[in-house]
Structure 1
């Protein structure tokens, strides 16, 4: 009887392992397959190279390259001077809306800009995507020297939204801004692990997040820990209370970015309730500050609000949301990426 019991237990365990392996394979193709993360000495926490599959919001297969480059590797560091001179390089910086894991590589707006505008100033246009989930302008300011040396861009497009500017204060990030006397300073948080509360609290789990079964379970547990189950990008900064120094901080960070990056252009992605009449729509708190500050400092800013609203009125397609998510919310779909790429290409061609 004892031997039979052990045999049955062994068979049950083997069946469980086979089921887990099969389920892992299914999840990797249909739901999520991460590449895992690494701690880069200069860039902080970035994705490992490999194929990233995301089917939890939209569906996208993204090729991740060295140094966190999205869909296309950064330039060859051993290139010749002649090769460099033949290219007009545009570096795209932003958060998960620029990283755009929800859509395929050819749909991402940075790639569409290169397709729409193959040549500029008699040079071949090359676009590079350094988007990163939960990034804020503090990231881009802190990493300016790295990108200047590594990509050597002729122009830089920085995508931002309401919550990116709220996140400037966020200490739960690789980079953030903090008060320093009458001004501010940038901080590199080397101890940052993850915005996933489960992984952050159970560090042993962090390395297992590359397994799709663990990642899906962790994501569900994370939602239970949050106040509501909205997407992270929709809720980050939701508890934010306007402060007297907000405009001063935005002016400070915009001034730094303008000084650090050549031919800087901002793309602002607004929060829009597509189900409410246009007359009821109001620009966000930081949206108004960003527009005012960019104009004062002479930084071109492409606010996509009117483009998104007009397109929705014409086609009925919102710029955000997918068939497997809530209508009009979350990250940009193919319609949103199309509109942003058109706006950016039109800007550069009309300079």
Structure 2
């Protein structure tokens, strides 16, 4: 063997050994940073796919938390039946703000509301979150009757967290011309799902993820930005949305609210509460903005809620007081953007306090 061949063989051996060591290090550290494989189960009662019981999501991009999923894909509670025991239950419906992957299970809205209620009312109610990212009123209309065949909450609470009152329009996206469309759900590839289940059952989740995550990241990078061979910032075209006048609700928006709330009211005879989470206070150019873009719509929406015997709870002033009195924003995290995004632990606490206060108005306290 020539010197050149021996040198190349040595270098190749070092590269392979380095790859093996790197893979082992990734596999050892992955449990602290990477979520489990996403495996879904079909729930016959709810008639939807939910995360398999035991799935753990590890959020590290916005906030820092581990979320454990239990029966019916409920986040933060591993077994609702055992956890609730003989207590009554209250369901909290929402999107990613109620799913709350950004905060630990002990700080999620459902757990904080349970703690507050237990401290003041003998611990007779267990709150639990029924939520997934991008859920909207259409999902609640579909799922509430199915949930009540399994368990009947003493009340249903709906949290509007992503874009305020937009979440209650049937299409979930437009104020000007709601088209009464349902938001398409993620399609589950059954063959892929079963393959991932086998990988997870075999205990090979982290080696699989250690190899797959870089490949997926590279693929996403190439699909969004492509390959670049020159330095400098990435320039993206941004299409500006047409300006909207939100000071007065349009007739089509009012019709959409009537449609959505009437459908929602028909789903259950139990008390309904809608909780509005404003996107203020927020930081902008070094200033704290406390003026809500949707302020002009709230009065009309509240009146329509009253017509349908739905209690409306507005957290605007509670969030503003949180900044004025405690110097803390309800949204944002240390590793994200302060004042915007998902609710942080303080935001969940403020919302839990408001929910418990609202529930006291409609639930016979002698019973709980």
Which TM-score bucket, shorter chain as reference?
0.7 to 0.9
Cα 1:132–1:316, aligned 2, differ >3 Å: closer, same or farther? same
Cα 1:71–1:281, aligned 2, differ >3 Å: closer, same or farther? closer
Deviation at 1:248, TM superposition (A): 2.1
Distance 2:215 2:35 in 1: 13
Structure of higher CA gyration radius: 2
Distance 1:154 1:120 in 2: 18
Which digits, 9 at most, give the CA deviation of each residue in 1:133-171, with x for residues without a partner?
Answer: 121111111112221122321111111132662784269
1:91 and 1:151 in contact (8 A); partners too: no
1:103 and 1:334 in contact (8 A); partners too: yes
Distance 2:350 2:181 in 1: 35
- Give the TM-score of the pair, scaled to structure 2: 0.70
Distance 1:339 1:101 in 2: 18
Which digits, 9 at most, give the CA deviation of each residue in 1:90-127, with x for residues without a partner?
Answer: 01111111011111111111111111112898772112
Residue correspondence of structure 1 range 135-284 to structure 2 within 5 A:
135-161=135-161, 162=163, 165=167, 168-169=170-171, 184=180, 192=187, 211=209, 214-215=212-213, 218=216, 245-261=252-268, 262-275=270-283, 276-277=287-288, 280-283=291-294
SS at match of 1:16: helix
SS at match of 1:89: strand
SS at match of 1:90: strand
- Give the TM-score of the pair, scaled to structure 1: 0.73
**Aligned CA-pair RMSD:** 4.0
SS at match of 1:294: helix
SS at match of 1:165: helix
Cα 1:12–1:253, aligned 2, differ >3 Å: closer, same or farther? same
1:89 and 1:128 in contact (8 A); partners too: yes
Number of residues paired by the alignment? 315
1:75 and 1:151 in contact (8 A); partners too: no
Deviation at 1:273, TM superposition (A): 4.3
Distance 2:351 2:343 in 1: 10
Aligned twin of 1:56: 61
Bigger strand fraction: 1
Residue correspondence of structure 1 range 294-305 to structure 2 within 5 A:
294-305=305-316
1:111 and 1:127 in contact (8 A); partners too: yes
Distance 1:53 1:74 in 2: 19
Determine if the alignment matches structure 1 residue 105 to structure 2 residue 116: no
Unaligned 5+ segments in structure 1 are 172-177, 195-202, 228-237
Tell me whether 41-50 or 245-254 shows the greater mean CA deviation: 41-50
1:96 and 1:133 in contact (8 A); partners too: yes
Deviation at 1:221, TM superposition (A): 6.7
Cα 1:329–1:299, aligned 2, differ >3 Å: closer, same or farther? same
Aligned twin of 2:12: 9
Distance 2:265 2:289 in 1: 33
Deviation at 1:287, TM superposition (A): 5.6
Aligned twin of 1:22: 25
Determine if the alignment matches structure 1 residue 328 to structure 2 residue 339: yes
Aligned twin of 2:235: none
1:166 and 1:240 in contact (8 A); partners too: no
1:89 and 1:125 in contact (8 A); partners too: yes
SS at match of 2:68: strand
Cα 1:265–1:118, aligned 2, differ >3 Å: closer, same or farther? same
Aligned twin of 1:235: none
Deviation at 1:333, TM superposition (A): 0.9
Distance 2:333 2:188 in 1: 29
